[in-house]
Amino acid sequence: MLNLHNLKCPVCSKSATFYNSRLYCNTCCFEYFHNVASASVAIIEHNDCILLLKRAKEPMVGKLHLPGGFISANESAEAALIREVNEELGLSVNSISYLFSEPNKYQYSGITYSIVDLFFKIFVDDIEKLTINNESSAYLWHNKYSVIKDDIAFISVANALNKLGYLK
Ligand SMILES: [Zn+2]
């Protein structure tokens, strides 16, 4: 785990403190804000089923997730989702509508990132052409009214599915 208590200022190399997402140097007053990152997440439904992906990579390998990913610099949330759906499922997004957001924590390389996940309901073209990439080990069309919370990788997704009435 990264030790956030013995940090050095990247400017003057004296000790710096990290508190409330802010790195601050008392010597030279350098400040760095480790702000919340954003991700776009897709709810894709077909009849009474919702599309879930089994994660092939850490964090939370083997657990279920929804298509989506982090929003890049200079990219809109919608553009990020269209890009991610194309990368992860090989599909084109036909329509997109914003639902709501949920906070999340994402552990990677010993650092806990604070994320806000933006959930969108989307419709895609040619659903039968769905092919997953190496980020997922499988996809499943799961009955949308009986998703089990413990199978879900992230609390934000569990909370979103619960909000939609999809958790068992
Ligand atoms: Zn400094």
pTM for this predicted structure: 0.90
Please list, residue by residue across 18-37, b when 16 or more beta carbons sit within 10 angstroms of its beta carbon and e when fewer do.
beeeebbbeeeeeebeeeee
Q: Please give the distance, rounded to the nearest whole angstrom, from the Cα atom of residue 18 to the centre of ligand 1.
A: 13
Least confident of 3-17, 21-35, 114-128: 3-17
Q: Please give the distance, rounded to the nearest whole angstrom, from the Cα atom of residue 103 to the centre of ligand 1.
A: 32
The predicted-structure confidence for 46-62, as pLDDT tens digits, reads as follows 999 999 999 999 999 99
The predicted-structure confidence for 96-107, as pLDDT tens digits, reads as follows 999 999 999 988
Ranges of each domain in the chain: 1-35, 37-163
CATH topology of domain 37-163: Nucleoside Triphosphate Pyrophosphohydrolase (3.90.79)
